[in-house]
Structure 1
């Protein structure tokens, strides 16, 4: 697993991780750290959005679980992020089967349980330096 990651293109930027399960949140943060990506983690989208609003340039990557405590669910949070920062790469995860219409435009959906390799490859594909800023 790890040995293959050395062949991957370098990723740049940082990530916001929104996951209410502490063990899964720590796992995502640790996986991102393994590929040299720093992250800030939150257990609710409400807290994450409040933080992001203080960042004029937003964040290069958002990984959000769909079912979260608080007012905002993952898909709603991602839609708000995309409306303000359209270039933000987004990943939506869920342990529940989601209707495809819930997944916001240009967002990658990863069903739980996802594998470490699935998450790493998705992040790398989204954050490669030559990635176009906007998808149409």
Structure 2
């Protein structure tokens, strides 16, 4: 995989990925690492939240599927993250149409199936709104 984008600034802090499909979770991690960020992945929101509450966590972005197993779904995790850590970027994905109008920015909703390019653009829109990025090559 060779992801090169002009205008995409380095990601500050670690990226937390929450996705229950192991193949998709690994793809998301690979994309984030290719963008130069450190990443930690979970298959449910509860474990991700426990990690984020630890004193060593330095989360700059969360990418989470809405339909993960457990009692906390992706939209609820987004609301919790935005309340506890305002300004932390959040990319919410789902295979179903969701009404995310009640969630404040920085949040980008990405409908599945998404492309690698669409995920990179969603990350950029979340972390650097209004900044134009362009694919190289």
TM-score w.r.t. the length of structure 1 is: 0.83
- Taking a change above 3 Å as real, the CA distance of residues 86 and 57 of structure 1, as seen in their structure-2 partners, is farther
**Secondary structure of 2:39's aligned partner:** strand
- C-alpha distance in 2 between matches for 1:57 and 1:47: 13
**Secondary structure of 2:6's aligned partner:** coil
- C-alpha distance in 2 between matches for 1:58 and 1:33: 16
TM-score w.r.t. the length of structure 2 is: 0.83
Structure 2 residue 48 is the aligned partner of structure 1 residue 48: yes
- C-alpha distance in 2 between matches for 1:9 and 1:63: 17
**Equivalent residue runs for 1:1-136 within 5 Å:** 2=2, 5-13=4-12, 14-55=14-55, 58-101=58-101, 104-106=103-105, 107-128=107-128
- C-alpha distance in 2 between matches for 1:78 and 1:64: 8
- C-alpha distance in 1 between matches for 2:68 and 2:104: 20
Where do 5+ consecutive residues of structure 2 fail to align?
132-137
Runs of 4+ that moved beyond 6 A: none
Cα offsets for 1:43-72 (capped at 9, x unmatched): 000100011111477511001100111110
Q: Which has the higher helix share?
A: 1
The alpha-carbon deviation at position 100 of structure 1 amounts to: 3.9
Contact 2:61-2:89 at 8 Å conserved across structures: yes
The alpha-carbon deviation at position 42 of structure 1 amounts to: 0.3
- C-alpha distance in 1 between matches for 2:15 and 2:73: 18
Where do 5+ consecutive residues of structure 1 fail to align?
132-136
CA RMSD of aligned residues (A): 2.3
The alpha-carbon deviation at position 15 of structure 1 amounts to: 0.5
- C-alpha distance in 1 between matches for 2:34 and 2:113: 19
The alpha-carbon deviation at position 12 of structure 1 amounts to: 2.3
